[in-house]
Structure 1
Amino acid sequence: MSDELTVGWWRSVVEALGYRGVALVMVVVAPEVIMPFAGFLAFTEVFTLSGVVLAGSIGATLGSTLIYLVARQVGEAQTRCLVSGPGRYLLLKGRDLDRVMAAFQQYGDWLVFLGRLVPSVRSLVSIPAGLLPMGFLRFLLLTAAGTALWNAVLALAGYWLGNQWARLAEWLGVYSAATVMVIAGLLLYLAQHRLRRLLRAGRGRRPG
């Protein structure tokens, strides 16, 4: 099934099941696919804007929580096998997990919250939270807050654009690419900074 047909099928589920459909689909589907469309349906008064944001946030938070619980249960070794196996179909790689794990050590709370706003990071942030681990209630609250914020932005965009809501897809593509570049640059800077600090510390410990 092509990507276009798949997206169309998910949207038909939303139209058929209403708010329950929004929540169900958002367990497994990226919000960029569904929430602008749901916002458009709110524009046509099929749904309410607050209703689609709430339903979408419940579904997306549930999906992220399931990933967190699986990671916490199976441990790091098995999680890496999942990332290198089925995860490759989601364009996930072991080095992506390494980067997120390293970032989580320093910025755990912010990564869980703000990671929900970044398409390429969202699939991964629940994993280090479950492996290290982050407390369940803390994870749940941060995830729900970040998810609700991003879903509200997407739904509002779809609502404001009205019949032109599909134009949002190209903007989101640019946003996603730019955000990934910024994150990659930031992680590279942090890695270089840490390496320089370790080298300076090593020179300082040399015998005179």
Structure 2
Amino acid sequence: MSLSSPSVLAATASDPGPITRLTDWAVSLMESLGAPGAGVAVALENLFPPIPSEVILPLAGFTAAQGRLGLLEAILWTTVGSVVGALLLYGLGAALGAERLRAVAARLPLVRVEDVDTAEAWFARYGTTAVLVGRVVPIVRSLISIPAGVERMPLGRFLVLTAVGSGVWNTTLVLLGYGLGERWPQIEAAIGTYQKGVLAVVAVLAVAYVVHLLVRRARADSPPQPGGPAPRRHARR
């Protein structure tokens, strides 16, 4: 069965637009290149998150179920694609560097250079977990590679964590597509709900962070209250 058959593309045909065009493009890659085409599509998904991995990966599994490529081959190539895409973003972060990031932060409203230092301290403590777990979180899956590069996480560790985390995500979706067969588009709806929940949490955290910065700035700019405690003076030695 061709990947471009009506039964396979029925789900995307009802939703014309950029996502449908990207999906059709991924289909053409797999038709012409096989499993390496799925790897290329996943690598680009890391660089351009609008490319839907929740479509590409189950579709690769469905293709394996049809005997057009091997199941292990599909998992291997999509994971290689994930690692390559993540490595490119790691390189972008390394090229940016901490000092340039501080210079950018100094020009942004509501952001202080100290906030960059705080983020660096957080990543130094939790970076390993963030890179590993972030591979199964939409949006974060792509973006977490940039701070890893900025902080120059050891490349070997970064590659291992990325391969393991991406391998879990890719294997799960490829196997779901393999098991569901022509019903693989159902996965896209389920992952879409998961992604909306993640984005809602991120939005709430972003709003809370902005409110925190505004309150901190208001307190710093407010004049001292009359009768308030006098500032401490350190005795000279």
Per the alignment, residue 18 of structure 1 pairs with: 34
Say which of 29, 33, 40 aligns to 2:55.
Answer: 33
Show structure 2 runs of 5+ residues with no match: 1-16, 46-51, 105-110, 213-231
Residue of structure 2 in register with 1:63 after alignment: 85
Structure 1 residues 115 and 129: alpha-carbon distance in aligned structure 2, compared to 1, 3 A threshold: same
Whichever of the two has the greater Rg, that structure is: 2
Kindly indicate whether the alpha-carbon contact (under 8 Å) linking 2:26 and 2:38 is maintained by their aligned counterparts in 1: no
Specify whether residues 162 and 135 from structure 1 end up closer, same or farther in structure 2 by C-alpha distance, changes over 3 A only: same
Equivalent-residue separation in structure 1 for 2:172 and 2:166 (angstroms): 10
Q: Does structure 1 residue 51 correspond to structure 2 residue 67?
A: no
C-alpha displacement of 1:33: 2.8
Distance apart, 1:178 and its partner CA: 2.2
Q: How big is the shift at 1:36?
A: 0.5
Seen in structure 2, the aligned counterparts of structure 1 residues 103 and 33 have a Cα distance that, compared at 3 Å, is farther
Distance 1:153 1:54, change over 3 A: same
Higher relative contact order at CA 8 Å, sep ≥6: structure 1 or structure 2? 1
Question: Is 1:137–2:156 an aligned residue pair?
Answer: yes
Gaps of 5+ in 1: 83-93, 193-205
Percent of pairs with identical residues: 36
Q: Output the TM-score relative to the length of structure 1.
A: 0.74
User: Which of 131, 149, 172 does residue 153 from structure 1 map onto?
Assistant: 172
* TM-fit CA distance, 1:148: 0.6
Aligned residues: 182
Structure-2 residue corresponding to 1:114: 133
CA 74–177 in structure 1, closer or farther in 2 if over 3 Å, else same: same
Measured in 2, the distance between the counterparts of 1:33 and 1:124 equals 20
CA distance in 1 between partners of 2:66 and 2:92 (Å): 39
Q: Label 1:164 to 1:69 Cα distance change in 2 as closer, same or farther (>3 A).
A: same
Relative distance call for 1:21 and 1:49 in structure 2 (3 A) is same
Match of 2:19 in 1: 3
Alpha-carbon distance in structure 2 between the residues aligned to 1:100 and 1:18: 41
- In 1, the alpha carbon distance for the partners of 2:102 and 2:38 equals 30
Moved more, 178-187 or 29-38: 178-187
Under a length normalisation based on structure 2, what TM-score does the superposition of the two structures give?
0.66
For 1:103 and 1:33, the matched residues in 2 are separated by 33
